[in-house]
Amino acid sequence: MKIAFIGVGNVGAPLADHLQQLGHEVTIAARDTNSQSVQAALQRNPQLQVQSPTVAVQSAEVVFLATPFAANQAALAEAGDLSGKILVDCTNPVGANLSHGLQSERSGAEFVQSLVPQARVVKAFTIYGFENFEDNAYPGYGDLKPAMLIAGNDADAKQVISTLCQALGWEPVDTGTLAMSLHLEHMTLLWIQMARVQRRGAGFVWAMLQKPQ
């Protein structure tokens, strides 16, 4: 699958690396090929390709958005036409004192969708710190996989991202429409509080236990 990454920092770089190693054709949509994050991602995995944002996005089926939330608008404006593309929103609106950056009135993912109405936005790869995107192996739990909660309005797009999640070692959990992203963004704040403020450390994730229905 052809995948483009807008943003290859803490979050984007490990996901781009792992997806390339799974055999996908991964391209960094780079506004500046010499930027530190782009160079570090290439050093980590020289098989990643680099193109201008418009070229990378144009040829991709799936586009990951992994930029600071405040940069989303500018980054998407530079990316060109996202019509029909699956846009994976990995970003989190984090406000002062670890509050929700949009005052919990609507999710960041819905804001992203409003910027690119023709894209098929799926919220995924948030709810944890980047350390878990680097390494999501939790040995000792048998077949139980860490849960990756996702949300989106397009069922086909969610299926594609669920398949990518599985390949990356996650148990995808479809939480519903994109509006559910607000709750996922609060889960992120909970994770940050527990991991970073209470100093539990980054090495924990959520799991989904489901009785047969």
Ligand X SMILES: NC(=O)c1ccc[n+]([C@@H]2O[C@H](COP(=O)([O-])OP(=O)(O)OC[C@H]3O[C@@H](n4cnc5c(N)ncnc54)[C@H](OP(=O)(O)O)[C@@H]3O)[C@@H](O)[C@H]2O)c1
H and E: helices and strands count for the chain: 8, 8
Among 14, 129, 146, 172, binds ligand X (CB under 6 A): 129
Kindly state the smallest distance separating residue 142's Cβ from ligand X, in Å.
27
Residue 35 within binding range of ligand X, rule CB under 6 A: yes
User: Residue 1 is which amino acid?
Assistant: M
User: How big is the site for ligand X, counted in residues (CB under 6 A)?
Assistant: 26
Nearest residue to 28 via CA among 44, 5, 9, 54:
5
Closer residue to ligand X in complex, CB, 35/153: 35
Cα 55 from chain centroid (whole Å): 21
β-bridge partners, 52: none
Sheet containing strand 147-152, strands side by side: 49-51, 25-29, 2-6, 62-65, 86-89, 120-123, 147-152, 171-174
Partners of 65 in the beta sheet? 6, 89
* Contact yes or no for 71/41 (Cβ under 8 A): no
Smallest separation (angstroms) from ligand X to the CB of 177: 20
Least distance CB 44 / ligand X (angstroms) = 13
Q: Does 27 bind ligand X (CB under 6 A)?
A: no
* C-beta separation of 147 from 62 below 8 A: no
Closer CB to ligand X, 4 or 11, in the complex: 11
Restricting to residues 62-121, which ones interact with ligand X according to CB under 6 A? Answer: 66-69, 71, 74-75, 90-92, 94
Q: Pick the stretch among 55-63, 112-120, 126-134, 153-161 that binds ligand X (CB under 6 A).
A: 126-134
- Of 12 and 146, nearer to ligand X (C-beta) is 12
Closer to ligand X by CB, 36 or 213: give it. Answer: 36
Task: Give contact residues for ligand X (rule: CB under 6 A).
Answer: 6-12, 31-32, 35-37, 66-69, 71, 74-75, 90-92, 94, 126, 129-130
